[in-house]
Copies of this chain bind each other. A is one copy, B any other.
Amino acid sequence: MASAEERLMEWLRDAHAMEQQAETMLSTMAGRIELYPELRERIELHLEQTRTQASMIESCIQRRGGDTSSLKDLAGKLMATGQGFGGIFMSDEIIKSAMASYTFEQMEMASYRVLIATSDHVGDAETSAICARILREEEEMAAWIWEYLPKVTRQYLAREEAPGLDAQT
């Protein structure tokens, strides 16, 4: 049986690992996308936000008295595994990447919704406010990709059908 405070610490650590995974994934995607500049630019913007989010979560862990030394190790491990989601080098990679980014944002949103309820439960208003701020950024990114999905699908299908045009990324 863990106390709510212990759960909050555990889930903050999960969130930090998730942001590190997001950074790896977004950074790989941004480096590979050439033909879809709109998506690359939005990903680069969110990559910066993601780095700040990881620092904000780390500050919550520190403020609550948690050890942050082990957080660095995980970052190293994740970078070592390399490709992240973007490593699925299929011919429809751009569509799968857009879908994966959307899904990942939604997973992050669910995590922050749980973290907000948990912070409120233990009366940690600052962690709750930080998680609410991050949640808004994730929601904006998810909403952007949702609007972009039909558009990139049409662009991709049209490029695939045009002789001599590359469509992959």
Contacts and interface: CB of A to CB of B under 8 A. Distances in A.
A80 interface: no
Interface string A65-97: 000000000000000000000000001100100
Given A7-B92, A103-B103, A150 B117 contact: yes
Given A103-B107, A106-B102, A161 B4 contact: yes
A158 to B, nearest CB: 8
A113 B146 contact: yes
The oligomer's copy count stands at 2
A129 interface: no
Contacts of A160: 1-4, 7
A146 B114 CA distance: 10
A25 to B, nearest CB: 14
Contacts of A117: 149-150, 153-154
A3 B145 CA distance: 24
Contacts of A154: 117, 121
A19 to B, nearest CB: 15
A153 B118 contact: yes
A138 to B, nearest CB: 12
Contact of A110 (B2, B92, B99): B99
